[in-house]
């Protein structure tokens, strides 16, 4: 179907985008309206071709290419050429003039939890798209519930990749015993059942696995082997019985920079011995309490005993393991990201129940004494060490944990990655190319060049000048269709 109205439709969608996700009914009606207005026409499939003209392309690897034409066919980028180049069969091409705007690949959030906060679960996918997040990695939750959610959510929705539950030890940390620790985890079993466990997860829809902190070393190794044999990538926390340089090289990503402080300490062996002893002696109680106690007693002493030479040895084992530092989470209590001037507006887009709960939490935070800044500062310091030693870094938020507004918080994370020492282009790669590499999809998604899926954002300003410009989203394309 020929179409001439792309620009008008987009400005309509943009005008109303502020209303999205305010109230479920309004949001549904709005989606219907937009679908009616430009639903069928917005597709670049069915042989239709879309040409984005006069656009400045920002590729996370090759950088800025000014004044380009980007041809999209059947949801895939098929050409990126200068504005002067002729495109064959022009009569059949729909044109979209994006003069003076900037085209970047759709962003990923590498660390989210759809089923952490029930009042927010159904609203998250829309929020991700509103903020230009076209792919997410769910790093922990019940697999049946998540697989069903992924099927049930109406299109358009971001590409959702699932790990299923946190695979934990006999004492499960996220066991559902309290509202702050919903049942995201499960007992992974022992080494002899690992293969069965991973097979069942894949059967149920898991794309990768997530290993958690109280798993025993033999189980860890067996889970890794089982996932490898099924070509499933591995995300992991450092199991507390192990160190980052023994567990890390076998995983594809590690989360939160947590427990790197122990591995980087001059007295790491002594701290590890104590830790292992306490875990062995723990025969009764909550996994959450066991873990919290260990972190509380060992984190700051380990940071105080930082040994650069030892740390370099550790980091050099991680050059093939993506670190997802979740700086927003690690610095949140200290930097109070909820005090950002645009935070109230972003909060207002959440379901009312979530808003109430979060406002109460902010009030509690405000009354609490200032948080110890050591771990926040350590996280930012370690970022520089990772960059210097060539350890890959991915962008993830842990949304909605720690008051992370889905979608919005990824842009805060990008800013913090730059504070931590990345260039704006490196930060962009951390949210595009690097997550694609985790899934072995770097040939099909994450960049702007022929062969890549057309998940794209149009920005008003150049994000290479200032990473904050990723917040200025004019339009979002998912698989060749404008969806915002």
User: Would you tell me which residues interact with Zn ion (CB under 5 A)?
Assistant: 398
Q: Which is nearer to Zn ion, 130 or 398 (CB)?
A: 398
Report in angstroms how near the CB of residue 329 gets to Zn ion at its nearest: 8
CB atoms within 10 A of CB 403: 22
Task: Give the C-alpha distances (Å, rounded to integers) separating 329 from 202, 338, 369, 375, 380.
Answer: 29, 12, 18, 11, 12
Q: How far apart are CA 282 and CA 352, in angstroms?
A: 41
What is the C-alpha to C-alpha distance for residues 127 and 407, in angstroms, rounded to an integer?
Answer: 6
Q: Print burial letters for 423-461: b (CB count within 10 Å at least 16), e (below 16).
A: ebbbbbbbbbbbbbbbbebbeebbbbbeebbbbbbbbeb
Report residue 187 as tokens.
């007992």
Q: Closest approach of Cβ 123 to Zn ion, in Å?
A: 19
Residue 443 CB, shortest distance to Zn ion, in Å, is 28
The sign of the torsion formed by the CA atoms of 349, 58, 321, 310 equals negative
Distance, in Å, from the CA atom of 119 to the CA atom of 142, rounded to the nearest integer, reads 16
Nearer to Zn ion by Cβ, of 398 and 481: the residue is 398
Transcribe 256-316 into DSSP letters: TTTTHHHHTBTTHHHHHHHHHHHHHH--SS-HHHHHHHHHHHHHHHHHHTB-HHHHHHHHT
Buried b (16+ CB within 10 A) or exposed e, 200-237: ebbeeebbbbbbbbbbbeebbbbbbebbeeeebbbbbb
Q: How far is the CB of 210 from Zn ion (least distance, A)?
A: 8
Nearer to Zn ion, 404 or 427 (CB): 404
Task: Using the minimum distance from each CB to Zn ion, give the nearer residue, 141 or 156.
Answer: 141
H-only helix segments in 317-467: 327-335, 343-347, 352-367, 374-388, 408-419, 424-430, 433-438
Output 73 or 398, the one with its CB closest to Zn ion. Answer: 398
11 vs 361 by CB, closer to Zn ion: 361
CB of 477 to Zn ion, least distance (A): 28
**Is residue 375 within 8 Å of residue 415, measured between CB atoms?**
no
Measured from the CB atom, the residue of 116 and 171 that comes closer to Zn ion is: 116
List C-alpha distances in Å: 58 to 79, 131, 442. Answer: 15, 18, 17
Please check whether residue 133 is in contact with residue 106, taking contact to mean a CB–CB distance below 8 angstroms: yes
Nearer to Zn ion, 142 or 398 (CB): 398
Which residue, 398 or 455, has its beta carbon nearer to Zn ion? 398
Rounded CA separation 424/418 (Å): 6
Min. distance of Cβ 164 from Zn ion in angstroms?
Answer: 13
Task: Indicate the SS3 state at residue 255.
Answer: strand
Residue 210 and residue 186 in contact, taking contact as beta carbons nearer than 8 Å: no
- Smallest gap from residue 165 Cβ to Zn ion (A): 12
Question: Which token pair is 92?
Answer: 């059949």
Residue closer to Zn ion by CB (options 254, 422) is: 254
Least Å distance, CB 211 to Zn ion, is 12
Smallest separation, CB 254 to Zn ion (Å) = 12
How far is the C-alpha of 431 from the C-alpha of 393, rounded, in Å?
9
- Return the number of the residue (149 or 265) whose C-beta is nearest Zn ion: 149
Cβ at position 111, least distance to Zn ion in Å: 5
| Cβ at position 398, least distance to Zn ion in Å | 4
Q: Where are the alpha helices (DSSP H) in 170-231?
A: 194-204, 217-229
The residue (of 245 and 398) whose beta carbon lies closer to Zn ion is 398
Q: How far is the CB of 181 from Zn ion (least distance, A)?
A: 12
Position closest to Zn ion via CB = 398
């Amino acid at each position: 179907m020929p179409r001439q109205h792309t620009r008008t439709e987009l400005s309509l969608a943009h005008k109303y985008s502020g209303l999205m996700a305010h109230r479920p009914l309004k949001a549904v009606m709005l989606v219907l309206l937009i679908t009616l207005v430009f639903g069928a026409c917005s597709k670049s499939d069915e042989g239709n071709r879309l040409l984005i003209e006069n656009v400045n392309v920002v590729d996370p690897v090759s950088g800025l290419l000014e004044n380009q034409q980007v041809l999209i066919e059947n949801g895939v980028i098929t050409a990126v050429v200068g504005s002067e180049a002729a495109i064959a069969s022009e009569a059949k091409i729909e044109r979209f003039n994006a003069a003076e705007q900037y085209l970047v690949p759709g962003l990923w959030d590498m660390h989210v939890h759809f089923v952490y906060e029930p009042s927010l679960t159904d609203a998250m996918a829309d929020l991700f798209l509103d903020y230009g997040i076209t792919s997410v990695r769910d790093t922990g939750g019940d697999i049946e519930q998540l697989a069903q959610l992924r099927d049930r959510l109406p299109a358009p929705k971001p590409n959702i990749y699932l790990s299923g539950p946190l695979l934990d030890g006999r004492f499960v940390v996220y066991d559902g015993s309290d509202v702050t620790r919903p049942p995201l985890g499960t007992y992974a079993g022992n080494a002899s059942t690992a293969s069965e466990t991973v097979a069942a997860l894949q059967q149920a829809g898991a794309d990768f696995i997530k290993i958690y902190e109280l798993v025993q070393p033999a189980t860890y190794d067996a889970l890794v082997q089982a996932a490898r044999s099924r070509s499933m990538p591995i995300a992991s926390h450092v199991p507390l019985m192990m160190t980052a340089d023994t567990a890390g090289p076998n995983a594809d990503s590690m989360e939160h920079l947590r427990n790197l402080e122990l591995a980087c300490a001059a007295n790491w062996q002594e701290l590890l011995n104590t830790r292992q002893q306490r875990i062995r002696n723990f025969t009764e109680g909550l996994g959450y309490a066991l873990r919290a106690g260990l972190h509380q007693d060992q984190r700051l002493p380990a940071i105080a005993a930082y040994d650069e030479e030892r740390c370099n040895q550790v980091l050099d084992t991680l050059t093939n393991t993506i670190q997802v530092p979740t700086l927003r989470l690690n610095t949140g209590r200290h930097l109070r990201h909820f005090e950002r001037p645009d935070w109230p507006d972003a909060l207002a887009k959440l379901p009312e129940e979530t808003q109430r709960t979060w406002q109460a939490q902010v009030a509690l935070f405000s009354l609490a004494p200032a948080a110890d800044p050591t771990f926040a500062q350590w996280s930012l310091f370690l970022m520089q060490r990772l960059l210097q030693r060539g350890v890959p870094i991915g962008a993830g938020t842990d949304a909605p944990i720690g008051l992370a507004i889905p979608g919005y918080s990824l842009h805060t994370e990008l800013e913090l990655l730059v504070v931590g020492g990345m260039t704006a282009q490196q930060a962009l790669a951390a949210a595009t190319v690097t997550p694609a590499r985790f899934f072995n999809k770097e040939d099909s998604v994450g960049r702007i060049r022929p062969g890549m899926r057309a998940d794209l954002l149009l920005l008003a300003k150049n994000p290479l000048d200032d990473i904050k410009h990723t917040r200025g989203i004019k339009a979002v394309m998912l698989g060749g269709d404008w969806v915002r």
